[in-house]
Amino acid sequence: MTYCVGILVREGLVMIADTRTNAGLDNIATFRKLHLFEKPGDRVIAIATAGNLAVSQSVLNLLNEGIKNPETGEIETIYSIPSMFKVAQFIGRAIREVYRIHGKSMEQQAASFDVTMLLGGQVKGGRLRLFMIYSAGNFIEATSDTPYLQIGEHKYGKPILDRAVTSETSLQEALKLGLVSMDSTIRSNLGVGMPVDVVTIRRDAIEIDVSHRIDRNDEYFLDLRERWSAALRAAHQAIPAPPYGKD
């Protein structure tokens, strides 16, 4: 399993991904799921992946190596596409190309062709945007009404986002809330695990702001965990006693 979250606020974008992959409980490994494509000043793109690892790795390879544009005959890569919307379409094409090659055979082996991606970033001349791309290659975009998108094991970490994140949340608070959401998921689901990769991108900077891998000994993350748990304890203890009796 996997948990990745992207949060798009006025100041910028946060993307966070765990690194645990598993084929059954007895076959666990660590793979990076958060991938960066950066040409400072021209584009800064982050992609987080969930689902079948063979599929997502093939898609990422196609993004780098390129796909022939059927109209112009030219090879396009993620570094040449001129807008974020077109990058989302391009990733959709790459997913369908992988499906064309492996999809039928995977189904014959009862392996599901299952991939979802978060695509965030900015290409020069366009806006900072955040998309979620499905295994059919179609996609949705985060808006100010719903400024975050999740893939993988999304339920554990959703309540804190639902309660606290708006598009006016600062980039720093969004990063903290994303880390709390990730911590809640890691605690409750063995399929999601450390280390955790974090990226932030400031709006219109067109370069990476933060790019960091949080491992088990990361002091800030340990402190955030501790403070959060202590604050929750204090919070429920401060709520008055329920006044309920027998109706």
Q: Does 190 bind its own copies (CB under 8 A)?
A: no
Q: Does 24 bind its own copies (CB under 8 A)?
A: no
Q: Does 1 bind its own copies (CB under 8 A)?
A: no
Which residue from 166, 212, 161, 164 is spatially nearest to 17, judged by alpha carbons?
212
Crossing angle between the packed helical segments 171-188 and 219-238, to the nearest 10 degrees: 80
Q: How far is the CB of 226 from its own copies (least distance, A)?
A: 10
* 92 vs 121 by CB, closer to its own copies: 121
Which residue from 2, 33, 34 is spatially nearest to 210, judged by alpha carbons?
34
* 225 token code pair: 């965990």
Give me the residue label for tokens 């985060």.
142
Q: Does 25 bind its own copies (CB under 8 A)?
A: no
**What is the widest separation between alpha-carbon atoms in the chain?**
75
Q: How far is the CB of 86 from its own copies (least distance, A)?
A: 27
* 55 vs 199 by CB, closer to its own copies: 199
Which residue from 201, 6, 43, 202 is spatially nearest to 119, judged by alpha carbons?
6
Which of the ranges 39-47, 121-129, 133-141, 207-215 carries the binding residues for its own copies, by CB under 8 A?
A: 207-215
Give me the residue label for tokens 């584009």.
43
Q: Which of residues 142-161 bind its own copies (CB under 8 A)?
A: 153, 155-160
Contact code string over 68-107 relative to its own copies, x by CB under 8 A: ----------------------------------------
Is there a contact between 171 and 12 (Cβ–Cβ < 8 Å)? yes
- How far apart, in Å, are the Cα atoms of 160 and each of 49, 50, 200? 22, 21, 19
Q: Does 46 bind its own copies (CB under 8 A)?
A: no
* Site of interaction with its own copies (CB under 8 A): 153, 155-160, 162-164, 172-173, 175-177, 179-180, 184-185, 187-189, 198, 208, 210-213, 220, 223-224, 227-229, 231-247
